[in-house]
Amino acid sequence: MLLIANGHLLEPGEERPVRGDVLIDGARIAAVGAGLGSLPDATRLDATGKLVLPGLINAHTHAQHNLIRGIADSVTLELLLNAGPAMYSNRSAEEEYLSALLGAVEMLKSGATAAYDLFMRLPSPSLEGIEAVVRAYSDAGIRAVVAPAVGDLLFHETVPGLMAALPDDLRKELERRRAAPGPKILTIMRDGFLKYRDAAGGRVRLAVCPTIPAHCSDEFLLGCKRLAEEFDVGVHTHLAESKVQAISGLARYGKSLTRHLGDVGLLGPHLTLAHAIWIDADDIALLADTGSSVVHNPASNMKLGSGIAPVAEMLARGVSLSLGTDGSGSSDNQNMFEALRFAALLSKVRSPDYPDWLTADQVFRMATTGGANALGLGDRLGRVAPGYLADLVLVNLDSMYLRPLNHVTHQLVYSETGAAVDTVLVGGRIVVRGGQILTVDEAALHKKAQPAADRLREVNRAEWALEHRLAPIVGQVCRSLARQPYPIQRYAAVDWLGTPVT
């Protein structure tokens, strides 16, 4: 047994933490409270001067992004999708492993103990790629749900008018980017589940990810649903992330993307939806009534100009909300403390109706118990309580952001950066101590990462050249679509055409 002694425990709703101990038996918390320090047979971890928190849960990220961090600047979601083959193609299994490991180390060192990862390999998934990402998370010691992102349609053919706007030679070039047929992709996924569904003693699990619903035929969506049911696993996808997606979905289905997912039969407690920005009150009610959960990704929503998600409305209607960083290609880091701060602040620019703004307590719950629900571990993760998994973070109270300590949750959400993370445990195992990762040779990892990133830029020169030719046309078509009227408004105080929000 392991005893975390003399720590400061965060009590929900309290301004100050209380002194207490945490007793860990194997992978779970056995007891929490004062006076546990007299147990003679327990290994002692002194937590004097440290805040003991449930590990933060990154409910939406993309492992493939970590090798291309910093590439994107002023690009929309659609321009980023256009660049996908240039960023992710021609990777070896070792490069998939390095990319996932980089993200795992970054998350652990900044206080995240679990992640829901939608990694992508283009043009199609492979067993080797799945194994590499699972192995990276296993080696790092983090808890993870790994959902290879797949689809059977080209992004460009899902945007109304885009293929028609392309010259013949570019349309032919795009054909070679096409993924394998849907049945073959599903077969690869099924083989992956048979081999790797419960790695690292169940700490790393697999799930299903039809990447963006519009990038999948209905037949493929149903195939993903059947696969998830066969193996009793979760499903994660992106929902109405941009106005272009919402308008494209309405043109294609004659209904909202949310309603279409409901009609296909995907909505439900096993489904986690990232972003959910361009949804209306009826969509929100449908998500709540079906028990579907949503991941808020404030940093990437801002960087890609996607809009502001109606988080307060979803919480008020009873939708389970969690928090994510998104991939480092669209938000540049995996720091959940930054996600906490952005989530709280972004809610405050939608309107002057401050009673509807997100509170620090709400945001912190999104990153803990909300994240646990998204990962399908709502009854086992996200709390410092007996019976829960011992995924814990010890934060130095001497952090400049926590002194003087006036309100612990407010300061964790609005002030702390993650730099004060001292010790991290996952399933009772210490994986970070003194701010240093114990499971990975971080210096060697960084030494390997740079040549890998450099090689990929070189080997994908032709893909980057194609991306540069496509980008102006993609941008023009998508900007025209985004100018079209839509019943809801998810930009800031005025939209980009200068129309006041009512």
CB within 8 A of 360, min separation 6: which ones? 344, 407, 409, 410, 412, 413, 414
Residue 454 φ then ψ, to 5°: -65, -40
By DSSP bridging, strand 421-426 and strand 392-396 are antiparallel
Could you state, in order of their start, the residue ranges of all structural domains in the chain? 54-374
CB within 8 A of 286, min separation 6: which ones? 258, 259, 262, 267
For the chain, how many helices (H) and strands (E)? 19, 20
State the Cα–Cα distance between residues 328 and 326, nearest whole angstrom: 7
CA-to-CA dists, residue 200 to 9, 29, 143, angstroms: 29, 19, 9
216 by Cβ neighbours in 10 Å (0-12 / 13-18 / 19+) ranks as: buried
H helices of 424-460, in order, are 442-459
Report pLDDT for 422.
Answer: 98
Which of 59, 55, 56, 66 shows the shortest CA–CA distance to 297?
59
- Tens of pLDDT, residues 321-345: 999 999 999 999 999 999 999 999 9
State the Cα–Cα distance between residues 221 and 215, nearest whole angstrom: 10
| Cβ atoms 388, 52 nearer than 8 A | no
Which of 6, 48, 7, 55 shows the shortest CA–CA distance to 27?
55
State the Cα–Cα distance between residues 28 and 1, nearest whole angstrom: 10
Tell me the three state secondary structure of residue 494.
strand
State the Cα–Cα distance between residues 30 and 32, nearest whole angstrom: 7
CA-to-CA dists, residue 449 to 94, 117, 225, 343, 454, angstroms: 10, 19, 36, 30, 9
Which of 453, 470, 473, 460 shows the shortest CA–CA distance to 86?
460
Report residues of the chain scoring pLDDT below 70: 493-502
CA-to-CA dists, residue 234 to 225, 290, 377, 397, angstroms: 9, 14, 11, 37
State the Cα–Cα distance between residues 270 and 468, nearest whole angstrom: 39
E strand spans, 75-162: 112-117, 143-146, 149-150
| Cβ atoms 338, 299 nearer than 8 A | yes
Question: What is the DSSP secondary-structure string of 312-346?
Answer: HHHHHHT-EEEE----TTTSS---HHHHHHHHHHH
Which of 362, 353, 287, 266 shows the shortest CA–CA distance to 323?
362
Report pLDDT for 501.
Answer: 47
Beta bridge mates, 236:
272
What architecture does CATH give domain 54-374?
Alpha-Beta Barrel (3.20)
State the Cα–Cα distance between residues 478 and 485, nearest whole angstrom: 13
CB within 8 A of 266, min separation 6: which ones? 213, 221, 224, 225, 235, 237
